[in-house]
Every structure is written in C-alpha cells, then in structure tokens.
Structure 1
C-alpha cells in the first residue's frame, strides 16, 4: 500500500491517497495522538501488566449475520410477491392460490433461493473459521514487542513495538442507498524474514474513533494497563441482545410511531430480530485458537531490569509533541510543521546562494 509513494517503509506523519482513499500513518514511531484512549467495541478485553490481546469484537458478527439474513429474506419475499402478481394475472385461466404456490415452489425459484442461502452460510462460517484459527494479536509491553500467528500451526512472528505500522484510512462507501463516509484503523505487522505485512483492519464510525482505538493500545504499551479505558459494565456491549433492545427503545423515543414501525420493526424483523445477536454470542463463545508454546513463554513477565526501555528517539519526539499539544495544536498540525521544516531550510539555503552569486 505504501510502495507507490515512498521508497522506504512509512513513518508517523506520512500520508498518501490511493484509489480515492486517504491514508495517514500514526506509526512507526508510536507517537502520542492527543486523542482520548477509547475502544468502541472493547477490542482489548484480555490485558494485564505484561500483555494485551487485540481481537475482533462481537458487533462485527452481529452485523454480518443480520445483513445475510436480511438479504436472503428480501430475495425470498421478492419472489413470493412476484409469483403472486403472476398468479393474479392468470386468475381467469387458473385458480389464483394454486398458481401462486406452483410458481413460488418452482424448482428454479426455490433452487435460486436455497443456493443463495447456502452461499451465505458458507461465507459466514468461513469468516468464523478464519477468526477461530487466528489467535489474537498480542502486545507485550515488557519486551516492547508484538506477536502474531498467521494461522493455527504456523510459527509465530515477532515485531518490535516501535516498528508497528499503523494508519487510518478515510474514504467513501458506495451503497444502493447512499454514499457514506468510511473510516478504518489498519495495523500492519511486517515479517522481517519475508517482508510481508499482515494487516488487521477495524472499521470505525469516524476518523477520531479510529485514532482513539489506536491511542488505547499506545497508552497501554507506553504507560501501562491503568491507562486503558475502563469498561462500563452498565452499558450493554454492541451486538448483544441488551444492546439491540437499547437501540430499539432509543429509536422509538426519537421517532414517531409510524416511522418506528416502518423504519425499525419491519426491517429488524425481516433481518432476524434478535437471532443475529444469539449467533454473534455463539461465535464469541466458541474456543479460539491458542498461542503456541513459544508465545506463552514469550508472554511471561520479566524482571524490572530485564524489561526493554523506549528508544531515545521516541522519548525525545514524544516530549516534543507533548509541548506542541500544550500550545493547543493537534497531531496533524505537528505533522505539517515537521514536513515544512525541510522546505524552509531549502528556501533559506537557496536565498543565501543567490546572495553569494550576486
């Protein structure tokens, strides 16, 4: 992704545009972003003083299940009403109900619907399997390294924390209804042996949420688990049945009865009501792939004198950017100021050379 613009690996402050999508890199090095540490999906559930596990949240599977069920039901209803309309046109020739049943239960119609259903089930279980065979990404703050296992049975790869590639992408998602903004947090772990980069992508609601998601990981690695955002047990988790009914009550309170029925009840009923929530719960309670023995040994705590310290470059630039924040500037302002330094220096040198020539 970064080969087209730079003849080197990216670093914090780099930016590029590819296929209409803007990318801004937040690391390496993992500098403070100025955003509050926050995870909208509690993606870092497993954490202690030594390591943090970063994995996909429940909300992803609930949406996937709901979209699949809704698509199959929509196609089935389309054929149901189309066959009913065809039977109504032939009502003077054949009995209406008999013709309707015959058209809808036609081998080709039912074959198309069930094929679509089987394809959806296959795609869904393929996604579930991919999650179950991929252990989460583990961030080790004692060693200042990140471990990832491409899939179950593969040898683990270890990446230095300050070499993790992180960027936020901002683009547009085109659907049949509208053009919507799309923001993603992308974490890249580069295998130094092969040069391949494993990307973990997390969709977020806004650019700020993507940055906050990364800031939660960064503050954990630099400052410890006490800096992680506290999980509010009173708030239901996205993708759960409780969260679904919370959204339903909120929608009812903010809209008229007619819009509540047409805009929520009908759509959610046709997409499975709370069934996707139960499917998501089943996915999240399935046994996940464990880490190999090497990673478990690597995850053991180290003595204080054995723990890896931040590099001098990171400490220096972190102090510099915090001073910048104290002046009311933002992270993007800091990156812009850094990128303008070479231009000012080059222009100054050019002026001096012109004076010497004169």
Structure 2
C-alpha cells in the first residue's frame, strides 16, 4: 500500500526517445515539466548505509532533471547492489534512448516472477511434494489462508499497473509515438562524443579510462592557461 501511495503521489519520470525528452511531475496534480534528454545530469552515489543491524555499502544511480525556468534540479535515484550495477542501469536507459528497444537485452528466463499467482501455486505444489500432508495443511494452507491466499498477488499486479494512472492527459498525449520525419535528432556534439568513445573502445579502453583521461586533459589545459 505504501508503494502504491508513493507512485500515486510521486509519478515516475517518463522517457520519450522519439522526442528525446523526459517528463517529470514533482507531485501529483502539478503541471508536467519536460527536460531535454541531453540536458540531464547523471552520476553514481556510493556510501555506507547504516541500520540497526549492520553497515552495508550503498550505491545509487542519481538522475538530475533541471527545470528550465527556475534552474532547480529534481533528483531521482535508483538503488543498486554495486557500483557496476548502477552504471549498468544507466547504460540500459542510454541504449534505449539512443538506439531503441531492439538493442536492449531481452530477459528470457523461464523462472516465474516472485509475487505472481503462478509463483504462489508453484510454491504450494513444491511444499506439498516435500512435506507430509499434515504439515502441508498447517504449515502452508492455514498460514496462507490467514495471509489472504492469493489476494496479495492480485494487489501486487494492481500496484504494478498503477504508474500509468499517475500521469495527466498531457503526458499521455506527449508519450504517443511520432512519425519518423517528426522525431528529434541527436546534437552534433553528442554524435562527435559518441564517435570518440567508440574509438577508445576499439583500442581496448573502457569508459572510465576515457573519462579519467578527459578530465586530466582539461585539468592540464587549465593549468597551462
């Protein structure tokens, strides 16, 4: 219920690769704001998460959306288990926006999604095959009956469908596909930067090495001035 309320109050940001824009709404009822794809700010935050039980590493993909009129930046984050996963999250978004959904990896796992009705019945059959009938009755059926049986699964499916209802009509209209001739094109600066990075990849270097060398070059140029 908390997750549903959060989605209702704070609709998720929406990416539109045809327009090369991002739509975001600070709170439900506010006017939607649109940010150019090439104007967003992206970084990875790494730190320590301290709980009452332990101290764990924390990594987040941070996406900053700058409001054109006021200059204010709205930050949204995606928590991940490692630095590399945070970078992978961003790369999946970037590839989708730049090259389309056909180039993004497709999940072919035959494993059932946890929380689905199919997964519930799989667990039920597994419990029945591995335990006695008495234990199946009191260890699974009774507990699940008082837990709502498959009702939590239906609530989960309903909650997963909630984000679309959080968008106003203007954003839904903005989200519709555009004809090829009306689609936005990447800037020359982005095209040139992408070509340079691909050349670095061809030399066996990675993105971090390229960015580090680029930062060092700028620092050296600044010192020479």
TM-score normalised over the length of structure 1: 0.49
1:317 to 193, 197, 212: 193
- Are 1:210 and 2:81 matched, yes or no? no
Measure the CA separation in 1 of the matches of 2:80 and 2:98.
23
1:25 alignment partner in structure 2? none
2:22 alignment partner in structure 1? 146
Q: Which consecutive residues of structure 2, in runs of 5 or more, have no partner in the other structure?
A: 127-138
- 2:7 touches 2:166 (CA, 8 Å); kept in 1? no
Measure the CA separation in 2 of the matches of 1:146 and 1:301.
14
- 2:11 touches 2:163 (CA, 8 Å); kept in 1? no
How far apart are residue 128 of structure 1 and its match?
2.9
Which structure's relative contact order is higher, taking Cα pairs within 8 Å and 6+ residues apart? 1
CA RMSD of aligned residues (A): 3.1
Q: What CA deviation, in whole Å up to 9, does each residue of 1:120-152 have, x standing for no partner?
A: xxxxx4553121233332211111111112222
The alignment partner of 2:165 has SS state of coil
2:173 alignment partner in structure 1? 297
* Number of residue pairs matched by the alignment: 201
Q: In terms of Rg, which structure is larger?
A: 1
Taking structure 1 as reference, are residues 232 and 333 closer, same or farther at Cα in structure 2, changes over 3 Å only? same
Q: What CA deviation, in whole Å up to 9, does each residue of 1:19-61 have, x standing for no partner?
A: xxxxxxxxxxxxxxxxxxxxxxxxxxxxxxxxxxxxxxxxxxx
Measure the CA separation in 1 of the matches of 2:99 and 2:79.
26
1:136 to 6, 9, 12: 12
1:221 to 66, 81, 97: 97
Measure the CA separation in 2 of the matches of 1:135 and 1:155.
12
1:329 to 184, 205, 212: 205
- 1:220 touches 1:228 (CA, 8 Å); kept in 2? yes
Measure the CA separation in 2 of the matches of 1:141 and 1:330.
26
Q: Which consecutive residues of structure 1, in runs of 5 or more, have no partner in the other structure?
A: 1-124, 250-264, 351-358
Write the mapping of 1:192-341 to structure 2, written as runs, cut at 5 A. 192-232=68-108, 234-237=110-113, 240=116, 242=119, 278=153, 280-281=156-157, 283-286=159-162, 288-341=164-217
Write the mapping of 1:42-121 to structure 2, written as runs, cut at 5 A. none
- 1:168 touches 1:184 (CA, 8 Å); kept in 2? yes
TM-score normalised over the length of structure 2: 0.75
Taking structure 1 as reference, are residues 234 and 277 closer, same or farther at Cα in structure 2, changes over 3 Å only? farther
